[in-house]
Amino acid sequence: MIWEIEFKGKPYLFVHGAICTKEQFENFECSYAHLMDDGKVLRFGVQIGTKDDVKFVRRLSSTEKNKTSDRALSAFCEKFLRKEFEFVIGEKKEPCLICGKLTKKIEINYEGRICSKKCCREMDKRFFGALRLGLKFG
Ligand SMILES: [Zn+2]
């Protein structure tokens, strides 16, 4: 679940222990800080407050939560998809994971035989389909 909170008087979102601005969350950027189990608020490993500095304002409704999570997920996918594919050349030919064509090309992000960029895109689609199903924001 996602909460609107105030930390030291400023508005943030609270997502699974992470304190971040709405923009940070939706752009899939680094969180501002983290609330630890022991009640300390850490930013890059440095304590900047305690749980007493965190005021829970309200829980986002499930519609708001889904909208916010969807935006974050899209931003994540987009960032990932903008990556360059990189290949190394294997010793012998083996079937491409997508189309089955024999290839020496090994795509390093997926660590498997993928014969072409087109098949890489297809692999991305399948990967993100699985990710979307598996990913739950509280
Ligand atoms: Zn292929």
Nearest by Cα to 126 from 95, 94, 99, 89: 99
Q: Is 35 helix (H, G, I), strand (E, B) or coil?
A: strand
Structure confidence at residue 130 (pLDDT): 66
Handedness of CA 112, 125, 75, 48 (dihedral sign): negative
Check whether residue 40 and residue 105 sit in a common domain.
no
Task: Give, for all 138 residues of the chain, the pLDDT tens digit.
Answer: 789 999 999 999 998 889 999 888 887 777 899 999 999 999 988 999 999 999 999 999 888 888 887 787 777 777 666 667 788 999 999 999 999 999 999 988 778 899 998 898 888 878 777 666 655 444
DSSP single-letter state for residue 83: S
In terms of domains, do 88 and 47 share one?
A: no
Domain residues for the domain of 112 are 83-134
Please indicate, yes or no, whether residues 76 and 103 belong to a single structural domain of this protein.
Answer: no
132 alpha carbon – ligand 1 mean position (Å)? 23
* Ligand 1: centre distance to CA 107 (Å): 11
Residues 11 and 62 occupy one common structural domain: yes
On whether both 108 and 126 belong to a single domain, the answer is yes
